[in-house]
Amino acid sequence: MLVTSSRELKGLNHRFRGKNKPTDVLSFPAIPGLMRGFAGDVAISAEIATRNARQLGHTAADEIRILTLHAMLHLAGYDHELDNGEMARKEASLRKSLGLPVGLIERRKRPDRGKVLMGKSESLPNSVRSRGPAVKRTGSGSRATRASR
């Protein structure tokens, strides 16, 4: 896991997704067969996480935990844009059991949360790499899951 600057996330987002803007979190699923038990990598913008936490009234540490949970679900093959709420339900359940505040998917659905400085979660194109089970599950055709929302 890499917690870094918005500038670095912007570079990664541009390089792997063709989007020249910073984002809060990216996930990069492991190349199938490369290393047993390795799910992939996660990159988080400390700056965006801190701003979002301040705006939402919780700590930056909690925001990083929320972003990590979201990214890990993507690495496990979930895709909230294609799964009819399956990822949202799983994220809400895990967030609740971990005692974390409102999650990424819920924020997009709740108008009372105000404007939060986060990008739309997405994934990297298949041309970047082929995904293992996540590709089969989501059919999203992406490699780096912009820890999607």
Least confident segment among 63-67, 82-86, 98-102, 103-107: 103-107
Residue 129 has pLDDT above 80, yes or no: no
* Cα–Cα distance measured from residue 89 to residue 91, given in angstroms and rounded to the nearest whole number: 5
Which of residues 58 and 137 earns the better pLDDT score? 58
Q: Per-residue pLDDT averaged across 122-127, rounded?
A: 38
Inter-residue contact 49 to 63 (CB < 8 Å): yes
- Identify residue 47 by its one-letter amino acid code: E
Residue of 17, 2, 4 lying closest to 119 (CA atoms): 17
Q: Which band of pLDDT confidence, cut at 50, 70 and 90, is reported for residue 144?
A: low
Tokens 């999650």 sit on residue? 103
Instruction: With beta carbons less than 8 A apart as the criterion, state whether 4 and 10 touch.
Output: no
CATH superfamily for domain 2-145: Metalloproteases ("zincins"), catalytic domain (3.40.390.30)
Residue ranges of domains in the chain: 2-145
Does position 123 have pLDDT exceeding 70, yes or no? Answer: no
* pLDDT (0 to 100) of residue 29: 93
